[in-house]
Copies of this chain bind each other. A is one copy, B any other.
Amino acid sequence: MKINQFARLEVDFETELTELQRIHFIETTDIVTQSPTEVLAALLHLCYPEMPTQQGVDFKLSTLLVDAHTNTYDFIQNEHEISQAHFYNLAMQLLQFEVDLDFSLDNPTAAMSKMALPFIAAMQLTTKDLLHAWYLLLTTHTKNGQVFLDYLTTKGYFAELSKQTDLPKPLFFNGKAQAVFDTTQLIREVVYVESDQDTDHDGKRDLLKAEILRPVETDDGLSVPVLYTASPYNQGTNDEDGAKLTHNVDVPLQKKPVITPTLAELDAAQPAKVDLPPKRVPNGVATHAEQSFARESSYTLNDYFLARGFAVVYAAGIGTMESDGFRTTGDPEETTSTVAIIEWLAGDRQAFTNKTDNDLIEAWWSNGHTAITGRSYLGTLAIAAATSGVKGLDTIISEAAISSWYDYYRENGLVIAPGGFQGEDADVLAEETFSRQKQASDYYPIKADWLASLEQMGRDQDRETGNYTPFWDARNYLKQLKNIKADIMMIHGLNDWNVKPKNVWKLWRGLQSLPVQQKLILHQGQHIYINNFRSVDYTDIVNLWLSNKLMGVDNHANDILPDVLVQDNTKPETWDTYTDWGNSDAYLTYHFDENQLLEKASATNTVQFTDHLTDDAFSAYKSDYATWRHDLMTATDSPMSSNRLLFKSAPLDHELVLGGRPQLKLRVASSQDVGLLSVRLVDYGKAKRLSVSPQLISRHALDEGFRWREDDLKEFALTKASDAKLISLGHINLQNLANAYQTNEIVPNQFYDLTLGLQPTVFRLLKGHQVGVIVYATDMEMTVRGNQAITYQLDLANCSIELPLQSK
């Protein structure tokens, strides 16, 4: 077990004392004059806030050993020297570690070192040492995924304290906001923000429903910052109608006409803004909302901050239930809709108490500082909002987010499905999230217009060519990066084949020259949240970040948090820090050899494979991707054996870490006037590897406050040994050799040179492992599947792959 903390702040002893006093672990700094035993006793007596009596606390202390023969209750009855072992035996039990299972009473710090838990060096603790060690303990993670002070909080520490004393709210400890707000008293309100758009063309500006949760203290004058989650899903989804729209992918790859537009032409071809209806004229002004809600579609990270003095706002945007407008899947109208909420929170836009009466309501409780959070589409809208440069948006936390929708649904002139969602496209997602449809009273009057709009989107997205067109150019946030004023924290899974890593990579690289703070976390998961993992203090990291960005706490978040934090793919619970991603100046280059090995310099030689499968094999693979994947990557005798070329390097003679975007150069010919190539970069070598889905460690272990909502504690575990692991992949239409928006002709059997950037990665290759490259055509999970009888040839003398090495 390893517990990695990056958000622990080191402060000087005076500050430690001040902070201990602030949370009432000590009442006066004069305590340094007392004996260590007295002080320890006083501190320990505050560790069981759940106990109604002193006897109850004493009993709990009697269950903790300071050494094999002495319990803590007995120990503090008399003056004692407190050794390092005494203290850390006790501390480890307080942190929920078990004697003999997790550590030995003989040498607790040995186990702590292994687990990366911090401890002080003094072998005999003075009172000052003890107070310092106690401060450190309060900021150290327990066995169950929370800082010790948070654990005490879940047992009622602050709830009890606030019965006895007026706690400052918000309250900060070690640079982070503490859970001192009573979540049973949260105020829930609905407002309707008027946006500068009329996407349903009903002659009225779109009103956007926002669900607000704010601490009751705001009613008494407290101004709070906002965590805003723009989730198109959160008013419900039309799963069945979305599924009906899903496109048939068992269609042949079509020949495309040759076109050579410029990027400027694409940009100019975007639809003009239509004239806007006038703003609503306010009627009255309300201070409190007229509408509320019972249960929002919540997000545990937001719940955590609700207990810590942040308001949370959920808004689903245009086309969602009880808002106006139509869904547009990532276009500028959607950005406008996302940004409107922030403008209202900053006092720069009007909102109303309902959709009819034009009674104004202001976000008078907001301190004007907002962050957007969320994963996938939600994180995408965070990026969208940031590119607007809107005032009041201080930071975004974009998790597994799309930075350009072309990189979500397309690649190099091909329709490429998000992993797990073959046949999905922009129109499918629009229908999925068009939750106005769920309320027939609202839907019936606009049904015809909506279906027409959906049809138009179906045409504009242009599945026929797969090219980068004005439709996709309008949905490319990377064009607007220069506008960004918000600091950005990005989180992405290196095994996320849904929103592929290219999305975060391009954002990260694109931000390098901008004067904003940026942090990057890359984990080994798929398309998941990481705020409930044991091995990394992600939630603390976000707390440090938001306490700094939204509440102005001078906690050095920019300096303390690593710029790039990457979970290791070979060792469990291991996180490495780097200063950058993609600034590589060293490469490992392999050339393709005729013996289907990489790296031997090749004589001129061509090899070939055909893309056609028997009907039986084709249809079996269609319904069983796992077998297809296995046959593609590891089977030596399967229907896929002749439908791919598999190149393997010699075993590596030393470990190395890839970092960045692999570049493949191929000289290729197709037997027809169309063609596509898919490529996988694979790590070959028998090894136990991390599961890409996290495993449950403990159900309900993470209370987000005190008797508030709970999350499960999880972690990636090592699985049974496997032979191979996908590192990266890429796809290209041979009619798009230059780029995704211009097309070229393909003469059958003529060779062409292409360069293909694969999905960027950070990947540790172990000694003895082999690097593999698989070249194939149809990707059952991602490309169209015409099962065409196309034969592809590679001219090996002109094929190579360049793998960037991660620099420290």
Interface residues of A (CB under 8 A from B): 50-53, 55-56, 59, 62-65, 68, 71, 93, 98-101, 105, 154-156, 184, 188, 190, 238, 240-241, 288-295, 298, 322, 353-355, 357, 438-442, 444, 623, 700, 703, 707, 720
Number of copies: 2
5 tightest Cβ-Cβ pairs between the two chains A and B: A99-B440, A155-B294, A50-B294, A56-B291, A53-B290
Q: Are the C-beta atoms of A291 and B63 separated by less than 8 Å?
A: no
Judge whether B289 and A184 touch: CB under 8 Å.
no
Q: What are 13 A-to-B residue pairs whose CB atoms are below 8 Å? A: A50-B188, A50-B292, A52-B289, A53-B290, A59-B291, A62-B441, A65-B444, A68-B440, A93-B440, A105-B440, A155-B294, A295-B703, A623-B720
CA distance A501 to B358 in the complex (A): 64
Decide: A354 near B55, CB < 8 A? Known: A295-B703, A442-B63, A707-B184. Answer: yes
Complex CA–CA separation, A700 to B711 (angstroms): 11
Residue ID in chain B nearest A190 by CB atoms: B56
Pair A64/B294 contact, Cβ less than 8 Å: no
Distance to closest chain B CB from A306 (angstroms)? 13
- A238 vs chain B, min Cβ distance (A): 8
With both beta carbons as reference points, the residue of chain B lying nearest to A102 in the complex is identified as B240
Instruction: Please state if A290 and B720 are interface contacts (CB–CB under 8 Å).
Output: no
A188 vs B440: C-alpha distance when bound (angstroms): 47
- Whether A59 contacts B355 by the Cβ 8 Å rule is yes
Q: How far is the CA of A99 from the CA of B68 in the complex (A)?
A: 68
CB–CB B64/A441 < 8 A: yes
Contact among B291, B322, B441 for A71, CB-based, below 8 A: B441
Distance to closest chain B CB from A357 (angstroms)? 8
Q: How far is the CB of A532 from chain B (nearest CB, A)?
A: 14
Whose C-beta in chain B lies nearest to the C-beta of A182? B184
How far is A354 from B288 in the complex, measured between Cα atoms in Å? Answer: 50
Residue from B93, B100, B290 within 8 A of A56 (CB atoms)? B290
Report the minimal beta-carbon distance from A528 to chain B, rounded to whole angstroms.
14
Q: Point out the residue from B51, B292, B441, B703 that lies within 8 Å of A51, measured CB to CB.
A: B292
A669 → chain B closest CB, angstroms:
39
Q: Please determine whether B50 and A293 come into contact, CB atoms closer than 8 angstroms.
A: yes
In the complex, the chain B residue whose C-beta lies closest to that of A293 is B50
B442 in contact with A51 (CB, 8 Å)? no
Q: How far is the CA of A291 from the CA of B59 in the complex (A)?
A: 9
Q: How far is the CB of A53 from chain B (nearest CB, A)?
A: 5
A292 and B52: CB pair below 8 A? yes
The residue in A93, A190, A290, A442 that gathers the most chain B C-beta atoms within 10 A of its C-beta is: A290
* Chain B residues positioned under 8 Å from A700 (CB to CB): 295, 298
In the complex where A441-B64, A444-B68 touch, is A53 in contact with B291 (Cβ < 8 A)?
yes
CB distance from A517 to the nearest CB of B (A): 34
A90: shortest Cβ distance to chain B, in Å?
11
The answer, among B51, B184, B354, for a CB contact under 8 Å with A59, is: B354
**Bound form: Cα–Cα A294–B184 in Å:** 17
A288–B51 CA distance with the chains assembled, in angstroms: 12
Residues from chain B with Cβ under 8 Å of A292 in the complex: 50-52, 56
Shortest distance from the beta carbon of A374 to any chain B beta carbon, whole Å: 16
Q: How many Å from the CB of A627 to the closest CB on chain B?
A: 13
A60 (CB) vs chain B CBs: closest residue: B291
